[in-house]
Amino acid sequence: MLEGGNIQQNIDEGEGWLRKAAEDGDEQAMRILGINFLDGKILKQDFTEGKKWLQEAVSLGDDSAMSILGSELLSGENLKLDIKEGIKWLEEASELGNSNAKSILGRFYYIQGNLLKATKLFLESFSENGELSGNNLAYMARRGEIPNGIEVPKIGLLLEKSQENKEPFGVVNKALCLAQGIQCKENWKEADDLIASIEKNKASDLLEWWYKELQGDSEGDLVIGWLVRHKLVKDPKNMSSAKRLAIAQKNGWNVPSWMMEKTN
C-alpha cells in the first residue's frame, strides 16, 4: 500500500500496517520504515524516526538494515557522519554475508586509496552475485588499479550482468574499454552507441562520479563530454561537449574527430 504497485496506493494505511508489523517485531517492516523515513520520498522525512527503526532492525540481527545504517552513517547525507560507527555496521553485515555491505565498504576503501582491501571486498561481493562490485572491479582493472598478485575475472564477465540490465555504470565502463581497446578491439563507434543508449533519467549518478571523484582526470572529461554530446546531462562548468572531448584528446585519449561534431 505504501508504494502502490499491485494495489492502490494508500500511504497512511500502508504506514499504519508497517508500524503495526514493526511494533510486533517484524524486522523487514522496521527496515522499510527506516528507509522511507530517511529518504522522504513517500513518507515525510524524519531522520530521528528513520534511524530509530533501522537500529531496531539491527538489534534483531537484520544484516540488510546494518548495511543501510552503515552506509548512511558513512555518507553523512541523512544521518550525522560517523565513519567509525558506519564501518562497524558494514563490517558486521559483511561478516553475515551481505554482499551489498561488502560493495559499499569496498568503495569506501577505494576512495581512501586502499586498493588491496577494496579489491578483496569487491571480489567477495562479486562472487556472491554482486553486480555493482563487478562494475567496480572492471573499473579498477581498466585503469590498471588491481594490486599485483590478485587475479580477477575478465572484464566481459565482470560486466555481463550490468550489460544485460543496461545499468549505466556498466555501460560507461564497457564504452571506456572499447575506447581504450582493453581486452577487446578499440571501437569508438560501438562505444559511442553504448553511451547514446543510456536513459537520460539515469545519467545524473554518472556525472556525480566522473565529475566529483575524477577532478583533474582526463577520463572524467571524456565521460562528461560524451554525456553532454548525447544531451544526457548539462556540463557542470557549462563547457561544450567538443571542448571536454578536446581536453581528453589532448591528454592521451584517441577521440575521433567525428565525436567533436554536434549530434542531432
How far is it, in rounded angstroms, from Cα 217 to Cα 219? 5
DSSP 3: S
pLDDT in the model for residue 252: 95
pTM recorded for the entire structure = 0.85
pLDDT tens for 192-247 read: 999 999 999 999 889 989 998 888 899 999 999 999 999 999 999 999 999 999 99
First to last CA, the chain: 43
Q: Given pLDDT bands bounded at 50, 70 and 90, which one contains residue 263?
A: low
Q: Given pLDDT bands bounded at 50, 70 and 90, which one contains residue 4?
A: very low
For residues 15-38, average pLDDT: 92
pLDDT in the model for residue 12: 76
pLDDT in the model for residue 260: 87
Q: Given pLDDT bands bounded at 50, 70 and 90, which one contains residue 183?
A: very high
How far is it, in rounded angstroms, from Cα 140 to Cα 161? 17
Per-residue cell: 202: 539515469
Among the ranges given (1-10, 40-49, 60-69, 84-93), the one the predictor scored with the smallest mean pLDDT:
1-10
pLDDT in the model for residue 1: 47
pLDDT in the model for residue 124: 95
pLDDT in the model for residue 261: 80
Between the CA atoms of 106, 199, 142 and 210, what dihedral angle is there, to the nearest 10 degrees? -70
pLDDT in the model for residue 198: 96
Q: Mapped to the 3 state alphabet, what secondary structure does the chain carry?
A: CCCCCCCCCCHHHHHHHHHHHHHCCCHHHHHHHHHHHHHCCCCCCCHHHHHHHHHHHHHCCCHHHHHHHHHHHHHCCCCCCCHHHHHHHHHHHHHCCCHHHHHHHHHHHHHCCCHHHHHHHHHHHHHCCCHHHHHHHHHHHHCCCCCCCCCCCCHHHHCHHHHHCCCHHHHHHHHHHHHHCCCCCCCHHHHHHHHHCCCHHHCHHHHHHHHHHCCCCHHHHHHHHHHHHCCCCCCCCCCCHHHHHHHHHHCCCCCCHHHHCCCC
For residues 187-195, average pLDDT: 97
**Looking at the predicted structure, is the pLDDT value of residue 161 above 50?**
yes
What is the chain's mean pLDDT, rounded?
A: 92
Q: Given pLDDT bands bounded at 50, 70 and 90, which one contains residue 41?
A: confident
Q: Which of 173, 116, 107 is nearest to 139 (CA)?
A: 173
Contacts of 120 (CB under 8 A, 6+ apart): 106, 150
